[in-house]
Structure 1
Amino acid sequence: MSAARPEVAGGPVRLNWRIRLRRDKSLLLMTVPAVVLLLLFNYLPLFGLVTAFQEYDPLLGVSHSDWVGFQQFQQLFADPLFWESMKTTLYLSFVQLVLFFPIPIALAILLNSVLSPRVRNFIQSVVYLPHFFSWVLAITVFQQMLGGAGILNQFLRQHGMGTWDIMTDPHTFALLVTSQAVWKEAGWGIIVFLAALSAINSELYEAAAADGAGRFRRMWHITLPGLRGVIVLMLVLRLGNALSVGFEQFLIQRYAVGHDAADVLDTFSFYYGISTGNYSYGAAAGLFKSVISLLLIWGANKLAHAFGEDGLYRQ
């Protein structure tokens, strides 16, 4: 049983920060490693964004490099390759949002309907195992299946049909990378939705079944409303991350399909910034992407509140 919060005639007692610190000391100590990693790899690098406003020279350092203001951004916005990368990023993000986002939800609902816990745990382990594979291994698996010498083309040759090297076809690249993301990450994504499903009161299903509601009606009127808050939260996070469709995945396959099909904002920053030694140009592209992502997550959160959901944070 949890300890009751002390109360007085006027309401609950507000504990001061010293008492709360002593009470939650163990929990706070557990968060220290995560906070340190967050500071080192997420917040400390933010100071490097100042290079987007400089003509950064690694030999001179940040403090002695020439300040150029918005010159890097002016060059960036006048670069047609940048806008092509932006268009490709938005297109691939839209395809993945439409085709990939609903799949973890459907998998979680299907797994939740499996009665045997042993079978359910086995299926869940199998489907989220690819999450632990590197993108190099994941793309190699697809190459062995769909490449020019893969299983699919071997089957087509044996039956006298024309071959199709999907791994080098720029016209189907969006569907290819989405399929790779589904195979690798969909199983891992169901964990959140399974947790949300476990929080739905089972008595609601029993009452609906007693009233004659079938499986589909129970899913429509109980399961999906119970998942709505989590779905909106994950959608807000997805929209905030819309411009980060995957650096390593596209970097590996860029030469196979060409830069027109595979250049996204992250690979643009790498190839036209870091690889050429123009670090300030790459930093400007990265800062622009971060600002747009921040606006997207803010707008998605506002939209969630308009539909009566909590969203990512309260405003």
Structure 2
Amino acid sequence: MDIQIQWFPGHMAKARRQVQEALKLVDVAVELLDARIPLSSENPMIGQILGNKPRVIILNKSDLADPGLTKAWQKKLERDQVKVIAVDTLKGEGLKEVPKAANLLVAEQMAKLAAKGRRARAARCMVLGIPNVGKSSFINRLVGRRATKTGDLPGVTKGQQWIRLEGSLELLDTPGILWPKFEDPQVGFKLAVTGAVKEQVFDVYEVALKLLQWLVETNPEKIKERYRLTDLNPDRVGLLSDIGARRGMLVSGGAVDELKAAHLILKEFREGTLGRYTLDLPR
């Protein structure tokens, strides 16, 4: 079943123009991807905008992704002028590698400036990514203080802000940017289940059913264990109803509130309660 999902608010078009204008001010781009969906969370417009600009790719939320597949993605994505770092922002894992990688990428450029008699300065980095990939939380943890407004909803950061990381980097925070049309319905689905698009713009029930089917095919024992089910109903609608019933999600008359159960599936997947999964596989 294909699920068509599109979301491109007006402020994202404005943000794209702001990024293009600010690009000449920065030395290196720091692009955050969701480690669970490195391919689907990579905005093709960002690649077009950045061109050959040196780049540090952050595989964020690596604590929620399959560790082996995260390593495979690191190997696949790293290339000349591109460094790839797996980061768990909550625990701070991988963050110390970011300034090192950024400064390494711009070392030659800085040496040329020094040779011309220019005063030494911190490397300037632009932080980019789609909504809800964790940019603000990443910056706050990297800087070591609450430097930007954060939230768990897509599109919290509306403007651009410069943040100084003492001694080594200057960071330019930018709003999350999606692209106007998801050509592949699977991309829209993966962005929905990981929380990159607002739930108001897609059918939560249908997306949860599709996710549940994928989880059953991927790790059925985990579903049994989590929801205390002896057997898994082969019908996914029936299975969702069984899960809702086990959790006491009932309405008057004893019927199961299936929409509430659908929200539960999405929530527990996003929190990692159902396991560590990577939906995009390296090709």
For the superposition of Structure 1 and Structure 2, which TM-score range results when normalised by the shorter chain? under 0.3
Give the TM-score of the pair, scaled to structure 1. 0.22
Give the TM-score of the pair, scaled to structure 2. 0.24
Give the structure with the higher percent helix. Answer: 1
